[in-house]
């Protein structure tokens, strides 16, 4: 099975304190067999100050923490049979800081929940309560993200019990947290887990056709969502020859997925999203080295995160309008495949000399960007793509690179990324980088200009396919953050599903 989350009940339903004959020292109407708590280390104290924990239980926990040299942020102690609970995971929050901004508080809650849930998973807990006293939304995000695993292809894994996680203690403070609560945190986490699932699924089980079917199934029945799945004949009529040139080497048929979310009135602005959807990238005729080529099942990470963000905003019922498109294809070598030196004419009429068939993402995005920007009047366009190894070299697994022609759009994206702790770094976007992309003797543009400044030249190439060069636009290169090398708390080894939550938060920012 693949596990994206196990839903908990609303926080509001857990607020009554009830002791049973004086024997129950945690409020535990949900019959949790394990609980995650946070504690500060400077003046040793539990973060949860409510009467959901009796004073005697609180004292017992603090005594054990003091005796165990519980002193550094992220320290974790497992306590057993405390206050009627079989297992209690206490996570250090470090020193208690006053006047922390909301982004920092969210990450504290997110990280503590993730570390605690991961520890209790290893201990085979089945019904876990997570302390929501720091921030319910952040705690839910961390708890849901920490549960992700992709095991449906492993024999016998479907016999293992689900880990159920719900909120423990505190009040649902959505009214004072800008509308964020346990339920919204679950939706953010589930949305990223959906992207992880799409990216992790082997390429033979996640072709362009099956990706479209899976997304259509996930979005079916959600409010204000319309889905159109276009085929090769449609792409031919649109003159998307750049997109078609990538798909022609594979026997798997291409798809072009178009999703409309109408959460606001027709007179309100419309925001555009584009996701690169190469469901497997061998490099084509410019074949990649075999080492780590299996990871290229995740080269549709842009499409996965964009579609999962659309799921999230629909579940949240955000009052915004969004159009998302994802061109989907495999890039494989064959007798029909595009050859280095071939020239194709994109939808906007520009000719492209394909110097390197492994620079295929920009070819499919070129037609998608022009289609979206020419057909719709948009407030902004954001494209997301596992585009260049150069961005991975520059930023590694920490920051995704953002290239944008709009200071305002960069500010909005940066604020969203800070709130989700899924960070962006602004990269240069300068016309001088375009010169190398215009050095073809036979076409308007080349699709690759070598290693120097490779992430920037790719971004400049994409800009050439905006119908209006002044259109506020951002390109997010997620090649470096596509994969996580180790599991720590809510960060799980494997495909990351980043930056799904940042996209949702960016769009939520336009509803205030």
Q: Domain boundary at 180, 198, 219, which?
A: 180
> What is the tally of structural domains in the chain?
2
Q: Are 471 and 381 in contact (CB under 8 A)?
A: yes
- 145 with 234, same domain? no
Task: Note the pLDDT of residue 445.
Answer: 98
Give first-to-last CA distance, the chain, whole Å: 38
Catalytic annotation present for 288: yes
d(CA 1, CA 493): 17
Look-up: residue for tokens 């500010």? 411
Q: Are 490 and 110 in contact (CB under 8 A)?
A: yes
176-204: pLDDT as tens digits: 567 899 999 999 999 999 999 999 999 99
Domain contains 469: yes
- 35 with 171, same domain? yes
- 399 with 315, same domain? yes
Q: Domain boundary at 129, 163, 180, which?
A: 180
Domain contains 352: no
- 240 with 99, same domain? no
Residue 56: give its domain's CATH number.
3.40.220.10
Catalytic annotation present for 362: yes
- 465 with 506, same domain? yes
Using pLDDT thresholds of 50, 70 and 90, give the confidence band for residue 162. confident
Interior/surface letters 257-285, b for 16+ CB within 10 angstroms, e for the rest:
bbbbbbbbeeeeebbbbbbbbbbbbbbbb
- 114 with 261, same domain? no
pTM above 0.85, yes or no: yes
Cα angle at 140 between 138 and 141, to 5 degrees? 65
Task: Note the pLDDT of residue 28.
Answer: 72
- 115 with 247, same domain? no
d(CA 313, CA 505): 9
Q: Are 120 and 34 in contact (CB under 8 A)?
A: yes
d(CA 385, CA 364): 11
427-467: pLDDT as tens digits: 999 999 999 999 999 999 999 998 899 999 999 999 999 99
d(CA 156, CA 488): 25
Residue 278: give its domain's CATH number.
3.40.630.10
Q: Which domain holds residue 408?
A: 206-339+358-434+455-511
pLDDT beyond 90 at 146: yes
Tell me which of 24, 239, 288, 345 is the catalytic residue: 288
Task: Note the pLDDT of residue 414.
Answer: 98
Strands (E), 68-201: 76-82, 85-92, 127-131, 149-150, 164-168
Domain contains 58: yes
102-125: pLDDT as tens digits: 999 999 999 999 999 999 999 999
Question: Positive or negative CA dihedral for 479, 322, 201, 196?
Answer: positive
Q: Domain boundary at 140, 164, 180, which?
A: 180
Task: Note the pLDDT of residue 14.
Answer: 28
d(CA 280, CA 208): 9
Domain contains 191: no
Q: Directed axis angle between helix 182-200 and helix 301-316, to 10°?
A: 160
Domain contains 294: yes
- 494 with 459, same domain? yes
Interior/surface letters 412-446, b for 16+ CB within 10 angstroms, e for the rest:
bbbebbbbbbbbbbbbebeeebbebbeebeebbbb
Q: Are 258 and 323 in contact (CB under 8 A)?
A: yes
Cα angle at 219 between 217 and 220, to 5 degrees? 65
- 109 with 55, same domain? yes
For residue 136, count other CB atoms closer than 10 A to its CB: 28
- 225 with 373, same domain? yes
Task: List, in order, residues 6 or more apart from 240 with CB less than 8 Å away.
Answer: 256, 327, 346, 347, 367, 371
Task: Note the pLDDT of residue 173.
Answer: 54
Task: List, in order, residues 6 or more apart from 20 with CB less than 8 Å away.
Answer: none
Tell me which of 362, 463, 498, 508 is the catalytic residue: 362
pLDDT beyond 60 at 336: yes
- 325 with 397, same domain? yes
């Amino acid at each position: 099975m693949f596990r994206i989350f196990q839903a908990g009940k609303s926080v509001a339903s857990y607020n009554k304190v009830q002791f049973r004959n004086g024997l129950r020292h945690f409020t535990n109407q949900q019959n949790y067999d394990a609980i995650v708590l946070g504690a500060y280390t400077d003046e040793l104290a539990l973060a949860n100050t409510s009467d959901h924990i009796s004073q005697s239980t609180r004292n017992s926990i603090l005594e054990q923490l003091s005796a165990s040299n519980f002193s550094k942020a992220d320290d974790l102690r497992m306590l057993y049979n405390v206050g009627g609970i079989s297992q209690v995971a206490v996570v250090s929050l470090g020193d208690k800081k006053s006047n922390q901004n909301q982004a920092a508080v969210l990450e504290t809650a997110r990280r503590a929940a993730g570390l605690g849930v991961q520890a209790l998973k290893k201990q085979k807990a089945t019904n876990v309560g997570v302390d929501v006293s720091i921030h319910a939304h952040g705690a839910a995000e961390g708890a849901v993200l920490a549960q992700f695993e992709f095991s449906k292809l492993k024999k016998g894994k479907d016999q293992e019990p689900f880990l159920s996680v719900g909120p423990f203690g505190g009040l649902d403070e959505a009214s004072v947290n800008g509308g964020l609560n346990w339920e919204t945190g679950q939706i953010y986490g589930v949305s990223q887990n959906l992207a992880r699932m799409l990216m992790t699924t082997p390429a033979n089980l996640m072709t362009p056709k099956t990706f479209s079917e899976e997304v259509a199934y996930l979005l079916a029945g959600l409010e204000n969502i319309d889905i159109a799945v276009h085929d090769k004949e449609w792409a031919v009529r649109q003159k998307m020859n750049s997109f078609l040139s990538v798909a022609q080497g594979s026997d798997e048929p291409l798809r072009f997925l178009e999703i409309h979310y109408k959460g606001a009135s027709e007179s309100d602005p419309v925001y555009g999203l584009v996701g690169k959807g190469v469901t497997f990238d061998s490099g084509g005729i410019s074949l990649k080295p075999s080492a780590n080529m299996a990871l290229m099942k995740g080269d549709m990470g842009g499409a996965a995160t964009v579609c999962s963000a659309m799921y999230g905003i629909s579940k949240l019922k955000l009052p915004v309008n969004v159009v998302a498109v994802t061109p989907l294809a495999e890039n494989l070598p064959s007798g029909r495949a595009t050859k280095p030196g071939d020239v194709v004419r994109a939808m906007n009429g520009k000719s492209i000399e394909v110097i390197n068939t492994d620079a295929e993402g920009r070819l499919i995005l070129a037609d998608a960007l022009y289609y979206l920007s020419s057909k719709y009047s948009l407030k902004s366009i954001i494209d997301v793509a596992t585009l260049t190894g150069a961005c991975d070299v520059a930023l590694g697994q920490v920051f995704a690179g953002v290239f944008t022609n709009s200071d305002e759009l960069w500010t909005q994206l940066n604020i969203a990324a800070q709130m989700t702790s899924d960070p962006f770094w602004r990269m240069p976007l300068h016309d001088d980088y375009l010169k190398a992309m215009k050095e073809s003797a036979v076409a308007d543009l080349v699709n690759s200009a070598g290693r120097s400044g490779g992430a920037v030249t790719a971004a400049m190439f994409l800009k050439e396919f905006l119908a209006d060069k002044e259109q506020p636009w951002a390109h997010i290169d997620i090649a470096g953050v596509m994969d996580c090398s180790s599991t720590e708390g809510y960060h799980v080894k494997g495909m990351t599903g980043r930056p799904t939550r940042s996209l949702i938060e960016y769009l939520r920012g336009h509803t205030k």
